[in-house]
């Protein structure tokens, strides 16, 4: 990809410390890491971009990417844009199905004391995120929450948010922190 453009992080040649297989699941290893992208390249499962100086910036997991009107936007980018607003303490986002754009952004926000998610704050946040990320940041729904589901190490569990939003079973929650 040219500088400034994002895409899948891939490795074109084997390296000494790489896995040769997955324990008792050689087919999954081949199908997951080597066949996703044609040409015999290893797909790490991350999205990245290269800057003008040649440095590679990891943007997040490829399964944590929103596809909005043909553009890929990392959930961490959107969350960072929200958190850069003075009213927001913490944010988590998921993609919500949209018949026209494919997905729109649904955000779960923890706001600072004294702020409530009302019409004026919603409009202010929409403008702020759009300014930070550009017109591709199509915000759908915003929800104010008291806490976000996280692992014990503090990683936001977006799959829990997605399951709750869709009314699905939460699955294994043994890694969910307090």
For residues 41 and 96, state if they share a domain. no
Q: If pLDDT is split at 50, 70 and 90, which confidence band does 62 have?
A: low
How many other CB atoms are found less than 10 A from the CB of residue 65?
Answer: 22
**Which one has a higher pLDDT value, 95 or 33?**
95
Predicted pLDDT at 63: 64
Predicted pLDDT at 156: 84
Q: Please give the Cα distance from 37 to 80 (Å, whole number).
A: 29
What's the total number of domains in the chain?
A: 2
Rg (Cα) of the chain, in Å, rounded?
18
pLDDT digits (tens, 9 = 90+) for 133-162: 888 877 889 999 999 998 887 888 888 898
For residues 50 and 132, state if they share a domain. no
Predicted pLDDT at 159: 86
Establish if 176 belongs to a structural domain. Answer: no
Predicted pLDDT at 153: 77
User: To the nearest whole number, what is the mean pLDDT of the chain?
Assistant: 84
Predicted pLDDT at 178: 64
Establish if 178 belongs to a structural domain. Answer: no
Of 146, 41, 142, the closest CA to residue 94 belongs to 142
The answer on pLDDT for 31 being more than 80 is no
Percent over 70 (pLDDT), the chain:
96
Q: Are 51 and 4 in contact (CB under 8 A)?
A: yes
Q: Are 97 and 68 in contact (CB under 8 A)?
A: no
Domain housing 37 = 6-54
Q: Please give the Cα distance from 7 to 71 (Å, whole number).
A: 11
Mean pLDDT of 94-112: 89
For residues 36 and 70, state if they share a domain. no
Q: Are 143 and 108 in contact (CB under 8 A)?
A: yes
Mean pLDDT of 51-73: 78
Q: If pLDDT is split at 50, 70 and 90, which confidence band does 40 have?
A: confident
């Amino acid at each position: 990809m040219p500088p400034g453009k994002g895409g899948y992080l891939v490795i074109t040649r084997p390296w000494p410390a790489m896995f040769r297989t997955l324990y008792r699941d050689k087919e999954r290893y081949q199908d997951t890491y080597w066949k996703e992208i044609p040409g015999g390249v290893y797909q790490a499962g991350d999205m990245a971009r290269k800057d003008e100086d040649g440095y590679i910036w990891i943007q997040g997991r490829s399964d944590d990417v929103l596809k909005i009107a043909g553009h890929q936007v990392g959930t961490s980018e959107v969350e960072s844009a929200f958190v850069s607003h003075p009213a927001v303490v913490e944010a988590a986002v998921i993609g919500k199905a949209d018949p026209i754009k494919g997905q729109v952004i649904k955000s779960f926000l923890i706001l600072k004391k004294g702020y409530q998610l009302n019409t004026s704050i919603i409009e202010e946040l929409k403008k702020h995120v759009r300014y930070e990320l550009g017109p591709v940041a199509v915000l759908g729904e915003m929800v104010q929450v008291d806490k976000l589901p996280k692992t014990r190490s503090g990683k936001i569990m977006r799959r829990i948010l997605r399951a709750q939003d869709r009314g699905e079973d939460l699955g294994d929650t043994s890694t969910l922190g307090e």
